[in-house]
Structure 1
Amino acid sequence: MKKMRTRVSEELAPRTRLKWSLKELIKHMNPILQGWKNYYAKMDPYIASKFLAKVDWHIRRRISLWWNKKHKKRKAYKVNLFDILQIAGLKTASPWGKPYCPR
């Protein structure tokens, strides 16, 4: 889990990524997510889905931070970013595709 978090942070943290459009970012992140999904599909489905749902939540949180930096806003109040990501084609790592929110 720690390696996945650092990988996502490394992919989204550079300031040069702010020049990318949302579609370019999703095109870059989808193969990474698909690889994790394929690798963990061999595990017990219940454990894998809980683990990968946490990864999904972290990815969506990091993308929302990227979005806010790109648009120079503290919080995206008027934009429902998770719906936009789903429409834009961001894959999910969890098998059922439901994002996990640990609150």
Structure 2
Amino acid sequence: MEYLDQLKGILAPGEQYPLPELFKMEMLALNERLLELEMAASSEEREQFGQQVSGLMARHFLEVAEDIKVYARGKATPAQVILLKEYYVKQKYCLRIIERLSTFASRDQVS
């Protein structure tokens, strides 16, 4: 979460950032799987799915880790800022999936 805090302000309020089609297709597949898990899945399946999404987030982070350091020092190039905007939006998508997964997973524990 610290890296997202470092990137606060990278997108202007209300700014829409276009994402690559490949990423959108990947998110569509993850959301479909999430729906399946929400209907009937074991805790092990939910755990595996959460690890898959966390791994995706880690991979995205590794792709821009150096750019984040440069941005934090205030020396990012316009190209690096574009990469960081994309990263920021991707992470927000993944965090929403994790949040949704934990919401229905915790709801099942109460029942």
Smaller-chain TM-score bracket? 0.3 to 0.5
In the superposition, the TM-score normalised over structure 1's length comes to 0.46
Greater per-residue helix proportion? 2
Higher alpha-carbon Rg: 2
